[in-house]
Chain A
Amino acid sequence: MVIWRIAWRNLWRNRRRTQLTMGAMIFACAMLVFSLGYYDGFLWSLINNATEKENGHIFLARPGYYANPVLEDTVSENISAQLPTAVKEQVKGVCPRLQAYALLSCGTGQENRTQPSQIVGVDFQAELANSKLAGDIVAGSFLSGQQREILLGQGLARKIKAELGSEIIFFSNAADGSIASEILLVKGIFSSGDNLRDSALAFMNIVDAQQLLALEGRVHSHRLFLHNPMQAREVAEQINDHQKAIEATPWQTMFPQIADILQIWFAIQLFTVAIYYAAMALITFNTMYMAFLERMQEFAVMQAIGLTRRRLARLILLESLILATVSGLIGMMLGASLNIVLFYYPIDLSRWLESISWGGSSIQPVLFCVPSLLSNLLPLLAMILLGFAVAALPIWRLYRLKPVEALREV
């Protein structure tokens, strides 16, 4: 009891020093929580950027289609009947897609330009509800379900010299081998940040595509969007166990780089903690250690009047743990609040920074954090460990202290 009282009061003894020490620890802890939240946010957006435009969290298609897409390998456009009930609860949305290779051409006579392109038929309502596709439109607007609409990638539009409203000739082979041809009108032009992709990609309404390619009622893939993208692998396994006629590929398989990152993520987090921890330990350790050294004589007196070394050690530990825990809690709350704010209101830095494509995804210049229990508790734990570390040296000194010698220095 009295040990608690002494420890607590000692913290207020040199108010300025305690405030400075706590300030440093609070700042470090808050930064730690924030940066872990930021890393999580970074990872989260990496996953979402990789999955939300293209393949979704889980790619459902006929077995083998993901690895080797063939026009004829289709599945029914009605997917929900084929999913196990347990899986349905985890699914936020489904985007059916039809994919084909076609020549897109624009212009007449010698002005005619033809490019081979990837044509993706999409359900515009499903895409609006689930994917970020519509966000890439840089001119015109997204598909609206009207007949003969097409969206062109910016690079593709440039290559075939197409503009909004231009007539696009679609020329390909349908699934029955017949010639598929149609005149489409450019509804919008999109830019995803991936130039290679945008120079050979176009979107059209899935109904049009089905008709053109003689695939009525059929689609090539269903992209599932989950409430929690981290569950993709487990959900995919459930589907594969349940349904042999379709194959579920989780994003972890589609984007191994990102999955790999996730694997080492915990290590990176620990590493970050270690660096912050070391920096902060240096700062706080010094001040706290000096404060303890100044009081060695006080400790000697307490020992002289009957306080055992064990109890003295407890006192020192208590003091440094109170400081560390209180700072850690305050820092954690500050960092967590920052994370929560940035989760709901991310700051867009695209005015100053460019986005980067990487590993099948893109890194957007957005300050975005995802608060998580781990990113809050890890720094707090680090603080508490620091508390132990700071106490260790004075305690070690204490055990070697001869009270007579300390007392003589009066």
Chain B
Amino acid sequence: MPKYAVLIMLLMSSVLWAEELATASVSIARPDAIALVRAVETQYQGDCSHGKMRMLIKTRSWTRTLEIEMWSEGRDKLLTRILAPVKERGTCTLKVDNDIWNYIARIDRMIKIPSSLMGDSWMGSHLTNDDLVKENKIDQLYQLSIAEQNGDIATIVGIPFPDAAVVWGKIVYQIDTARLVPILIEYFDEEGEKVRSMVFSEVKQVGERLLPMLARIVPADKPEEYTEMLYQEIDFSVELPRDLFSIKSLRNR
């Protein structure tokens, strides 16, 4: 990714997704690891979306809930805006290509997040800035193979190609091949040490598609902490204004 664009994934579903699904469905009898992962990783591609989610962040010393509104266009454009708590209302994050801008409503100022800070936490959650940015050409960076097929559950292991510039040393997917939804993704470092895991649940029908509504990220070194993202509204059939994903629009939101 290397890192998986969870936020966006939760907004997903698209025509293309449908196409990918169709492709995957064809080979269900003899599941293809690449097709499966690509289906999960690129389900939002070329799509416009608008949605609302509740983010629950729990750390050692505090717990808080953010209400976030978000818009996306393809994999390159993303805008989030905090609706609650009131104190932070209006604070936005804009991602265009590889740049991330934060607009801080309280002081009416904007800062650009430099590339050196991509590993930093996004708004205090267990997501990183990088999770918003990276394009997910998993199948081009990782050698994927089905390690295990247990009923409808396929375990797919991704090992980076020798010359690939990647963050993870290993990614393990668990995918429900019947419904074509992710169940679990685990991220490992170069030493094979687990860094974090992402668990999906509450699969619901959105339009024509099945989507997990809840994702929970748990850092491996602090198992008592987590960030939960619960999707509340999602709409894939929206028309977005042309200049939505621009710096100027941040202040006006």
Chain A residues with a Cβ under 8 A of chain B: 72, 103, 105, 108-109, 112-116, 169, 171, 173, 175-179, 181-183
Contacts and interface: CB of A to CB of B under 8 A. Distances in A.
Given A109-B247, A176-B64, A177-B62, A171 B104 contact: yes
B113 interface: yes
B117 interface: yes
A171 B104 CA distance: 8
B123 interface: yes
A112 B111 contact: yes
Give the top 10 A-B pairs by smallest Cβ distance, nearest first: A105-B111, A72-B61, A173-B124, A177-B62, A181-B104, A177-B64, A112-B112, A169-B109, A114-B111, A177-B124
Contacts of A109: 110, 247
B123 A103 contact: no
B61 A178 contact: no
A179 B105 CA distance: 11
Given A173-B124, A181-B104, A103 B117 contact: yes
Contacts of B165: none
Contacts of B59: 177
A175 B104 contact: no
A171 B64 contact: no
A112 B107 CA distance: 15
Contacts of A105: 109, 111-112
Interface residues of B, number: 28
Given A109-B247, A178-B88, A116 B111 contact: no
Contact of A178 (B87, B107, B112, B117): B87
5 contacts: A72-B62, A114-B112, A169-B109, A177-B57, A178-B64
A185 to B, nearest CB: 13
Contacts of A72: 60-62
Contact of B114 (A114, A177, A179): A114
B68 to A, nearest CB: 13
A183 to B, nearest CB: 5
A113 B121 CA distance: 19
Contacts of B111: 103, 105, 112, 114, 169, 171
B108 to A, nearest CB: 9
A72 B123 CA distance: 17
Contacts of A171: 102, 104, 111
Contacts of A177: 57, 59, 62-64, 124
Interface of B: 57, 59-64, 85, 87-88, 91, 102, 104, 106-107, 109-114, 116-117, 120-121, 123-124, 247
A179 B91 contact: yes
Q: Give the secondary structure class of A's interface.
A: strand
B117 A175 contact: no
A183 B61 CA distance: 27
Nearest to B101: A112
A171 B108 CA distance: 12
Nearest to B111: A105
A239 to B, nearest CB: 26
B107 A181 contact: yes
A138 to B, nearest CB: 25
A53 to B, nearest CB: 26
A56 B248 CA distance: 47
A183 B123 CA distance: 18
Contacts of A182: 107
Contacts of B247: 109
Nearest to B102: A171
B64 A114 contact: no
A179 B102 CA distance: 12
Contacts of B121: 173
B250 to A, nearest CB: 12
Contact of B106 (A103, A116, A181): A181
B62 A183 contact: no
Nearest to A108: B110
